[in-house]
Amino acid sequence: MNTYFMKLGYPFSGAVAGSVSSVSFAFVHDVFISDIWFSLVFMMIAGALCGICMGWSYGLLYNTHTAGNWIQYNTMYVILFIFLGIISVIVFDPKTTIAALIAANQPPRELIREAMPMTVVYTLIASILLTQFFGRSWRRFGAILLTTSILVLLLGLNISVIGLVSVPLGSFYLILELFGLILAINIVFAMVFYVMERKTFDSVKLPLNN
């Protein structure tokens, strides 16, 4: 295994790209929803951690690195979040309203705790299914499980509670905003990472270790 990807390369670029995407998230959130600049440091740390996992696992899972499979890898996790929301709606019945959550003006901790068993099971099953795409091995499964867990923990908990919230049709745009923000974060992250590592894309082929 080429230690460049494991030590300094893709994980470092992932950390930088994740931090940059967090700043863009704060900006978009400020413009369209509300001011969250006060939590920028925490968001940058979370973004960097997500980016490290994404960069490291991508370098591990693909033996050829191209713009195409980088987009593919990012898209997998966007789809993972979409299905997390769908499963939440299928599994849960609403216990509160979107108006009550807005009025509370704080993270829905009780709802997150109630949804946690489903979230854990979903994360495990999703990681198993993603592993099938890359070929079965404990190394690949471990990399995907770690990456998926970090992403869900830091970005997906609000999605996991969607089924516990009654959302009238007139407020459905808030759900679309949530997924739109996640998509925006991912687009910025993927672009910054690619710019930083464009010289390695299409030119690096590595044997995968099982």
Helix (H) / strand (E) containing 96: strand 96-97
Range 123-143 average pLDDT: 90
**Residue 22 near residue 120 (C-beta atoms within 8 A):** no
Average pLDDT, the chain: 87
pLDDT at 204 over 70: no
pLDDT digits (tens, 9 = 90+) for 43-81: 999 999 999 999 999 998 988 889 999 999 999 999 999
Asked if the model's pLDDT at residue 208 lies above 50, the reply is no
Q: Within 13 Å of residue 79, how many CA atoms lie on the same side as its CB? A: 10
Burial class (CB in 10 A: 0-12, 13-18, 19+), 210: exposed
* CA dihedral of 183, 185, 188, 192, whole degrees rounded to 10: -130
Please report which confidence band the pLDDT of residue 30 belongs to, taking 50, 70 and 90 as the band edges. Answer: confident
3-state secondary structure 120-187: HHHHHHHHHHHHHHHCCCHHHHHHHHHHHHHHHHHHHHHHHCHHHEECCHHHCHHHHHHHHHHHHHHH
Is the Cβ–Cβ distance between 196 and 17 less than 8 Å? yes
pLDDT band per the 50, 70, 90 thresholds, residue 112: very high
What is the C-alpha separation between 73 and 144, in angstroms, rounded?
11
What is the enclosing helix (H) or strand (E) of 97?
strand 96-97
pLDDT in tens, 85-108: 999 999 999 988 888 887 877 888
* pLDDT reported for residue 209: 45
Question: Quick one: tokens of 76?
Answer: 């997998």
